[in-house]
A and B are shown apart, each in its own frame.
Chain A
Amino acid sequence: MNVLKLLFLSTLFLGGLLAKAESSSINFQEPPFWMMTYDEFHQLQDFQKDFYSRQLLLEVKKLGLLNSPKEAQMKEAGEWAESWLQIQTSVYRACQSQDNLKTCKKLASARLKTFELAENQKWENRKARASHSETSSD
């Protein structure tokens, strides 16, 4: 059991190293923002995390990633930056393909909608939001 645990941890560690190496060539801090960073996700309120995780899982499945995260992995990723970075790197890499553009735009939209759930909605913004939703084709 200890050997298995060690093997599992080693795999995660190596995976983390690989993701880190690849992620250094991807700029997560410049738009388009296909996915939240770990810092953005980690500070969300629980109901926002639940919403975003569901949306993320739903759309990531469509990207045809070799190792699409399962619900349990997503939950773990939310607690561990390295794990989150692995998923984020995979998503960004997939979003470099035009074939995935529609799905990636939905991912980007899910990120924004998650933040809207808790934004400090001043009167002007609520009015603008209502006007956008009336004209939105989504």
Chain B
Amino acid sequence: MPGNKLLTYQGKTRDMGTCKTAFGARGTCLTPYISIAADLSVYRLGDIIEMPAMKGKKIRLPDGGSFLHPGYFIVEDSGGAIRGKNRFDFFTGAHGMRNSKNAFGTQGDPDMQMVTSGDCNANKTFSVIRQGTPNYEQSLASIDNTRDYAASQQRYVIASPLGDR
């Protein structure tokens, strides 16, 4: 909307501020390839998912620039279709799962695709790092460093209702 405002699905408007993408359930600005949605009856907002196979993978951002994935994701959103402890929705900005620019989509590198159905494979092995546990702060710092680096490079496209099909 004009004036850097976002019209939400509840009909409310919100100032985007410095957020260039979208807001999640905790009110924080979502980061492509870092923020995930999860079943919040199983996870708390802020829980970290460690996925070792992702560490060091080069991620191209929607509008140029790239960063090396830290191997961690952070739960910052929820969704009606996301149920159970083994299901996540990876926020990838404006690009849907069939978009060629989506590193996690159907046209991404096979070892980074997050949309394949069927049995889990080694690339998707993960563990949960709950808040208050010994590794949490270190993992969070790694995520924050990545976010800062990615933010310094990117010119995100704001997620649109039509762009995510």
A residues contacting B by CB (< 8 A) are 29-33, 37, 39-40, 43-45, 47-48, 108, 111-112, 115-132
Contacts and interface: CB of A to CB of B under 8 A. Distances in A.
A67 B165 CA distance: 49
Chain B binding surface SS class: loop
Given A40-B26, A125-B79, A119 B37 contact: yes
A47 B12 CA distance: 10
A39 B161 CA distance: 29
B10 A125 contact: no
A16 B159 CA distance: 43
A27 B44 CA distance: 12
A118 B25 contact: yes
B8 A129 contact: no
Interface string B23-46: 111111010000001001110111
B81 A44 contact: no
Given A124-B81, A125-B81, A125-B82, A119 B25 contact: yes
A118 B80 contact: no
Interface centre among A117, A120, A131 (most CB of B within 10 A): A120
Contact of A118 (B27, B37, B42, B132): B27
B27 A48 contact: yes
Nearest to B42: A31
B44 A37 contact: yes
Contacts of B46: 39-40
Nearest to A130: B80
A113 B78 CA distance: 10
Contacts of A132: 80
Given A43-B28, A125-B79, A126-B80, A120 B45 contact: no
Nearest to B22: A120
Contacts of B12: 47
Contact of A126 (B9, B37, B44, B47): B9
A116 B78 contact: yes
Contacts of B142: none
Contacts of B164: 122-123
Contact of A123 (B28, B41, B161): B161
Given A30-B130, A33-B44, A40-B45, 15 more contacts: A31-B42, A40-B26, A40-B44, A43-B28, A112-B78, A115-B25, A115-B78, A117-B10, A118-B10, A118-B23, A118-B27, A120-B22, A120-B23, A120-B79, A120-B159
B91 interface: yes
13 contacts: A29-B47, A29-B132, A29-B133, A39-B46, A47-B12, A112-B40, A119-B25, A119-B78, A120-B159, A122-B164, A123-B161, A123-B165, A126-B9
